[in-house]
Amino acid sequence: MAAEALGWWGVPLGIIAGTLRGSAPFLFVSLGECITEKSGKINLGLEGTLLMGAMSAYAVSYLAQGWLGPVWSPWLGVLAAGLSGTLLGLIHGWLAQQPRVNDVAVGIAMIIFGSGLAFFLGKPFIQPQAPPLPTFEWGSWSQLPQMRAALRVSPLFLLGVAIAPLLQWFFRATRWGLQIRAVGDSPQAARAMGISVFKVRLASIVAGSFLAGIGGACLSLYYPGVWTERISSGQGLMAVALVIFARWNPIQCLWASLLFGGAQAIGPAFQSVGIDSYYYLFNAAPYILTLLIMILTCSPQRTLAGSPGALGQDD
Amino acid sequence: MAIAQSPSASGLPYRWRRSIEAVLLPILALLVALIIFGGFCALAGANPLAVYGSIYKAAFGRWSAWQNTLIRAAPLMLTALCTALPARLGLVIIGNEGALVIGGLAAVVTALGVGTALPPLLVQLAMAVAALVAGGLWIMLAGALRHYRGVNETISSLLLNYIAIALMNHLVEGPLRDPNFVTKPSSYEIAELNWLGEIPGSRIHWGLLYGLVACVIAYGLIQRTSFGFAARAAGSNVRAARMAGLPVGQLTLAVCFLGGSAAGLAGMVEVAAVQKRLNESLVSNYGYAGILVAFVSRHNPLATVLVAILLGGILASGGILQRSHGLPDATVLVFQGIVFLCILASDSFYGRLPGFREG
Amino acid sequence: MRDRTPRLSPTFSRRQIMRGLMATTAFGLTARFGTACTSDSSSSAGGDGGGGDEETVVGFIYVGPKDDFGYNQAHAEGAQAMASVPGIRIVEEASVPETTAVSETMRSMIEVDGAKVLFPTSFGYFDPYILELAPEFPEVQFFHAGGLYQDGMPDNVGSYFGYIDEAQYVAGVVAGHMTQSGKLGFVAAKPIPQVLRNINSYTLGAKSVKPEITTQVIFTGDWALPVKEAEATNSMVDQGIDVITCHVDSPKVVMETAEKRGVFCTGYHANQAPLAPNGYLTGAEWDWSSIYTRLGEDFVAGKTLMAGDIDNLLRGGLAENFCKLSAYASIVPDAAQADAETARDQLISKELVIFEGELKDNKGNTIIPAGEEYEQQNLELEKMDWLIEGVKGSVGS
């Protein structure tokens, strides 16, 4: 039981461990938002989707453990999270493409609607304990319990890591990926090519919401592994900024998610070795960093490399 | 967005038809929302008709309910302007919450600095000016980043929210903290003389008047001045406006400043009339709700007043849903979500209703 | 920043006097208005409910959801206990923020539901919301959880406050026995006096077993931040801390994370033993049911704060059943249980005073000189802004 204290080494280890644990939701939501934004629409409502996903995953994992057993029921929960994301994505995808309707406004309404629905339906599941997702024990070689705990990796996280390069390839090399990019860069041109802008955007938004829903499952079934109404604390909204930070590049979304996930561990890790001032400011570090990087890398003369041309414009 | 006008079934002049449509559509949307929400309540085991009755009574049923609604609406009018004004220039600002917090911070620091050395009216004026300037500069930063560095203003203003809140939390636990106030880390109290009191004969604080006046001024500015005209012109087509010699940069900074100052003023009202000190309670989603109010009112400052009152009414009825119908606390969120989604959806029906169809 | 409170107390009392004066003038002004309002509403409430005149309506207001496995749930369970007292009907509203929303909810409960007694439970509802509304409704009783009542405040305001730090002290004794590394961990939300008092008591309890024990504090910055709470717990375990407790709204995440990391934990607010079957040692729990039932019976019997039948300041600890301990886990050795029971008995009999001199803070300043002691009722404790020697952490951000 008694573990050796790590002292200052605990800070980097804590941040690495926090990164492995905490970045999965960021990863899924940002990959989802990446698909959405590539098609030229913004979905701020992923905060609501994340909550809905977290709630449905937890609820289904809990309810299904009776007949599926605690090994498989969490996976059904993950699927349920994806499906609930899909449903919210359909609403957003349809509504945000209507004439005179702004996608940012729909997103904020969807945050309210999605979180309201998640809280409403989630009331009975706050108390019970649902079976969590299994983890890979990659640290069993180590003598250090801290190392063993840090290297307890979720398969969902690995799935997310695998999706990132796949998505990169998808955008670069497949016809569908090309269509999404075409729609995002210039809807008029895409229409001229015979692509249905509406369908492509709807599909992108729904796919993005599906991933965000799974991001919610990471929160409730892996880390921190509970369902409460404050579980997301703004991570879904943050993912929108994260995608821009990552320049709409799935691989960079992965790095950015790791950075943001790790940043959550900075405040507690520093306090645990006695640096206990400025913790609010430490906690705000990812936001400040994103803003700084945006300021340094943007330029008024040209749009950002990778930026979908039609993003945030009504058409 | 230009829609060709052509004669249709209705013989009314075009302008009239558009006006009737502008009133009719949101009302229809509201009805649809009520029907959907009623179904939701029925599924949750509550009688929809009784729920409607309770909502009406709790929000608009009598003078006391009206006051409840108006108190909740007051800050929303101000925070909505933070999105509505820059929207005239085609900017989507969502930094309302941050500007509100910064405005509150500036107001409290001013009030604590001046103390009771000046007459209350002057102190309140100083607080308001400080909040206007601080909130204005905060959002102007997003505008400046947009104009000079090409940084997306939606994202930068979102990030500025988190930074403002962290800064406020840091200050109230550190340099500004009143150690004798034990319930939560807070700044020292604003001297009682300088509190923003209530409108006589009611329990509504003067913030409501601030909100109404701000909305009327904003309306006049947008609709009746050359500044407003230039902003609208630049908003509809930035490139053309540049070619025509309009100072797009200055306009960007100006609308952002004005929008931010409105939200900053909401922060001042909140600390001077409600909280009396600075603490985390200042962060209570008035900013995010304001974004929705702005969009639903189509960035028209006069419509903002009505939409703010509608949302105020919904919020005011939240309690009665729990107390009289046994519905959980999240019901009011679901209700809000449905109402706003329906009204947003109704926007797409302009010119598509029978009798209002464009040729 | 080391503002010792005695220096500042003159301001405090002047402010209280001001409040008192204000309250009495406001009372005069609004009495007419207030009675007009309530006579109007009581008739409508009678019409709606049709429950008869004897029924006393009691309103409960919570800052978060009622089932958060923590602070709000503890109160909501107490409210249910009060509801079972014949003649009491409760109305509840959850997720009411500490803004004008709570004033409006209190008012609506009085005017629409005909509530005669209100329990706005969140700590932050007191000042300014309760203090401003109470003079307007002099016939309604306002009860607030937290010992903030001072002389000069409206006489229809009452505070009730549990010295849960007594239970934390006992839990600290258990933790002191169980720790191998001599390091305890405390995940806290915000550095306010109630939280600091728990941290200090917990540490003092542990130090009574082994004086060299230290407690690491991590402030997450807010009352409910699940990811940060889990992160804080993990980083403590990485630092060799092997018993962890917390003061956040919902201890669920901290308990479950500690369990996953294979360290001990002690609970807070409610019994979290089912969440950590291997590591849960004991916990400091509120016992609102006993207090709320007692108060409910008083209301039915017609007792009020205004008539002086109920004290404006109801306080108590283990002895008065304001708080209790979770059952000791079987892994807690007999010797530790015996020590904990001794501490508990001595706290109940008031033999043991938690804060006694000589007591130093963790910056080396003497807080309580040798030979002096702060009994639980001492107001200094409710303005605590220090962490004792042995606690690693600081109270300013």
Q: List the single best residue of B1, B96, B152 to mutate versus A (max A Cβ within 10 A).
A: B152
Q: Quick one: what percent of chain C has pLDDT higher than 70? A: 86
Answer whether B291 sits within 8 Å of A298, measured CB to CB.
no
Average pLDDT over residues B89-102: 95
Average pLDDT over residues B123-132: 97
Average pLDDT over residues B62-72: 94
Whether C25 and C60 map to the same domain: the answer is yes
Average pLDDT over residues A43-61: 96
Give the B window 160-179 contacts with C, CB below 8 Å. Answer: 169-170, 173-174, 177, 179
In whole angstroms, what is the distance from residue B157 CA to residue B151 CA?
10
Look at B159 and A141; give whichever has higher pLDDT: B159
Look at A39 and A137; give whichever has higher pLDDT: A39
Work out the mean pLDDT of chain B and round it to a whole number: 91
Q: Is residue C397 part of a domain?
A: no
CA of C137 vs chain B CAs: smallest distance (Å): 14
- Residue pair C224/A230 in contact (Cβ under 8 Å)? The answer is yes
Whether C239 and C112 map to the same domain: the answer is no
Q: Is B39 on the interface with C (CB under 8 A)?
A: no
- Residue C20, pLDDT > 50, answer no
Residues of C with Cβ-Cβ distance to A279 under 8 angstroms: 219, 221, 397
| List of E strands, C181-236 | 183-188, 214-219
Residues of C with Cβ-Cβ distance to B64 under 8 angstroms: 37, 107, 111
Residues A138-184: pLDDT tens digits?
888 888 777 877 888 899 999 999 999 999 999 999 999 999 999 99
pLDDT for the residue A258: 92
| β-strands A136-137, A152-153 pairing | antiparallel
Average pLDDT over residues A90-119: 94
- Residue C43, pLDDT > 80, answer no
Total domains present in chain C:
2
Whether C128 and C42 map to the same domain: the answer is yes
Q: Is residue C171 part of a domain?
A: yes
Confidence of residue C36 (pLDDT cuts 50, 70, 90): very low
Confidence of residue B1 (pLDDT cuts 50, 70, 90): very low
Q: Chain C residue with minimal CA distance to B315?
A: C101
- Residue C46, pLDDT > 60, answer no
Answer whether C234 sits within 8 Å of A14, measured CB to CB.
yes
Average pLDDT over residues A225-235: 87
Whether C149 and C250 map to the same domain: the answer is no
Residues of C with Cβ-Cβ distance to B330 under 8 angstroms: 65, 95
Average pLDDT over residues B131-145: 97
Answer whether C101 sits within 8 Å of B315, measured CB to CB.
yes
Whether C221 and C350 map to the same domain: the answer is yes
Q: Quick one: what percent of chain A has pLDDT higher than 70? A: 94
Of B162, B163, B288, the CB nearest to A108: B288
Laid out side by side, the sheet with C117-120 consists of C88-93, C56-61, C117-120, C141-145, C157-162, C313-316
- Residue A197, pLDDT > 90, answer yes
Confidence of residue A314 (pLDDT cuts 50, 70, 90): low
Q: Which domain holds residue C257?
A: 164-285+324-392
CATH number, residue C111:
3.40.50.2300
ipTM: 0.91
Answer whether C219 sits within 8 Å of A279, measured CB to CB.
yes
pLDDT for the residue C179: 96
- Residue A246, pLDDT > 50, answer yes
- Kindly report the backbone phi and psi dihedral angles of residue C270, in degrees, each rounded to the nearest multiple of 5, phi listed first: -140, 180
Residues of B with Cβ-Cβ distance to C30 under 8 angstroms: none
Q: Chain B residue with minimal CA distance to A113?
A: B337
Give the A window 184-243 contacts with C, CB below 8 Å. Answer: 219, 223-226, 228-231, 233, 235
Confidence of residue B78 (pLDDT cuts 50, 70, 90): very high
Q: List the single best residue of B162, B242, B331 to mutate versus A (max A Cβ within 10 A).
A: B162
Q: Per-domain residue ranges for chain B?
A: 73-304
Average pLDDT over residues A77-104: 95
Average pLDDT over residues B78-94: 94
pLDDT for the residue C21: 40
pLDDT for the residue B213: 97
- Go through chain A and tell me how many residues it has: 315
pLDDT for the residue A313: 66
- Residue B85, pLDDT > 90, answer yes
Answer whether B72 sits within 8 Å of C108, measured CB to CB.
no
Answer whether B166 sits within 8 Å of A244, measured CB to CB.
no
pLDDT for the residue B9: 44
Average pLDDT over residues C11-37: 38
pLDDT for the residue C100: 92
Answer whether A298 sits within 8 Å of B296, measured CB to CB.
no
Q: Per-domain residue ranges for chain A?
A: 7-297
Average pLDDT over residues A185-205: 94
Answer whether C231 sits within 8 Å of A264, measured CB to CB.
yes
pLDDT for the residue A1: 38
Residues of B with Cβ-Cβ distance to C108 under 8 angstroms: 58, 68, 319-320
CA of A6 vs chain C CAs: smallest distance (Å): 5
Of A1, A150, A219, the CB nearest to C242: A1
Of B147, B155, B333, the CB nearest to A119: B333
SS3 A246: coil
Residues of C with Cβ-Cβ distance to A262 under 8 angstroms: none
Q: Is B358 on the interface with C (CB under 8 A)?
A: no
Buried b (16+ CB within 10 A) or exposed e, C129-146: bbbbbbbbbbebbbbbbb
Answer whether B319 sits within 8 Å of C96, measured CB to CB.
yes
Whether C176 and C258 map to the same domain: the answer is yes
Confidence of residue A266 (pLDDT cuts 50, 70, 90): confident
- Residue pair A17/A279 in contact (Cβ under 8 Å)? The answer is no
Burial-class residue B217 by CB neighbours within 10 Å (0-12, 13-18, 19+): middle
pLDDT for the residue A131: 93
Residues C51-83: pLDDT tens digits?
445 789 999 999 988 887 788 989 999 999 999
Whether C181 and C154 map to the same domain: the answer is no
Widest Cα–Cα separation across chain B = 71
pLDDT for the residue C338: 96
- Residue pair B90/B252 in contact (Cβ under 8 Å)? The answer is no
Answer whether C65 sits within 8 Å of A280, measured CB to CB.
no
Residues of B with Cβ-Cβ distance to A233 under 8 angstroms: none
Of C225, C226, C240, the CB nearest to A3: C240
| β-strands C355-356, C366-368 pairing | unpaired
Confidence of residue C203 (pLDDT cuts 50, 70, 90): very high
Residues of B with Cβ-Cβ distance to A295 under 8 angstroms: 145, 149, 151
pLDDT for the residue B5: 45
pLDDT for the residue A100: 87
Look at C362 and A277; give whichever has higher pLDDT: C362
Q: Specify the residue for token string 């899924």.
A: A28
Look at A100 and A215; give whichever has higher pLDDT: A215
Average pLDDT over residues C168-197: 95
Residues of C with Cβ-Cβ distance to A233 under 8 angstroms: 225-228
C60, containing H or E segment: strand C56-61
Chain C neighbours, 3+ Cβ pairs < 8 A: A, B
In whole angstroms, what is the distance from residue C51 CA to residue C155 CA?
29
pLDDT for the residue C28: 36
Confidence of residue A275 (pLDDT cuts 50, 70, 90): confident
Angle at alpha carbon of residue C171, lines to A229 and C199, rounded to 5°: 65
CA of A58 vs chain B CAs: smallest distance (Å): 18
Answer whether C101 sits within 8 Å of B184, measured CB to CB.
no
Q: Is B275 on the interface with C (CB under 8 A)?
A: yes
Q: Which CATH class is domain A7-297?
A: mainly alpha
Burial-class residue C335 by CB neighbours within 10 Å (0-12, 13-18, 19+): exposed
Buried b (16+ CB within 10 A) or exposed e, B310-343: bbbbbbbbbbbbbbbbebbbbbbbbbbbbbbbbb
pLDDT for the residue A15: 83
Region of residue C224 (phi > 0: left; psi between -120 and 50: alpha; otherwise: beta): beta
pLDDT for the residue C397: 57
